[in-house]
Chains A and B, each alone.
Chain A
Amino acid sequence: MEKLLNEFSLGLFVWQSLLFILLLLLLRKFAWKPILNAVNEREEGIKNALAEADKARQEMQNINADNERILKEARAERDTMLKEARDIKNSMIEEAKEEAKAQANKLVEQARTTIQNEKLAAITELKNQVAELSINIAEKVVKEELSNKDKQLKLVDQMLDEVKLN
């Protein structure tokens, strides 16, 4: 302890205190404040830049998601459109088929009715003719009867046979 006190020099202490405090004040004003401020600013800048980059990435992701969604929608739309078109085509074919069938049926029906009508007409005419013939025959028969009964009968039979053949 005595050695320490002996070594202590007041002059050196005063000079040291003076110079050190001066240095401290000067450095505080001209060095540490600008340095710490600059470092802080830079750190803030880096932090901000990182946040910004994060935000941009988020946005990018959003845009990508949007794109995906739009693409998906478009694809779905295309699919529905294709499906619709196919449906329409099918229905048209169906309809056409249906119509053709109906038309055909109608034609057949018409033909059939025509045939029926013709047949009926023919039958009617036949009947009329048969009736006329019958009347004629009957006339002849009546005439024959007047002459020869046997002959008349024979004639009737003959006539009838003829009719049957018809």
Chain B
Amino acid sequence: MEIPVMVGAGLVVIGVGIGIGRIGGSAMDAIARQPEAYGKIQTAMLIAAALIEGIGFAALFAV
């Protein structure tokens, strides 16, 4: 576990955080715009967030 690898993992986690944040924010906007589609938006949000999260974990465990 050299320092550069750890910094890289940190960068990946920052990216993942931004990504999931954007997904969450967009989902909120979408729900505000179409409250009746709440269920579908939530499902899509969770799937997208889970996929991005996977990359984050992969980066963390690759360290």
Residues of A near any B CB (own CB < 8 A)? 1, 3-4
Contacts and interface: CB of A to CB of B under 8 A. Distances in A.
Contacts of B61: 1, 3-4
A119 B57 CA distance: 146
A141 B62 CA distance: 183
Nearest to A3: B61
A3 B62 CA distance: 10
B61 to A, nearest CB: 6
Nearest to B58: A1
A50 B21 CA distance: 45
A1 B62 CA distance: 5
Query: Majority SS of interface residues in chain A?
Result: helix
Query: Majority SS of interface residues in chain B?
Result: helix
B8 to A, nearest CB: 14
B60 to A, nearest CB: 10
A4 B61 CA distance: 8
A147 B61 CA distance: 191
A36 to B, nearest CB: 22
Nearest to B62: A1
Interface in B13-34: none
A145 to B, nearest CB: 147
Contacts of A1: 61-62
A3 B57 CA distance: 14
B24 to A, nearest CB: 28
A1 B57 CA distance: 11
Contacts of A4: 61
Contacts of B62: 1
A39 B61 CA distance: 43
A4 to B, nearest CB: 6
A1 B5 CA distance: 13
B57 to A, nearest CB: 11
* 4 smallest beta-carbon distances between A and B, as pairs: A4-B61, A1-B62, A1-B61, A3-B61
Interface string B20-63: 00000000000000000000000000000000000000000110
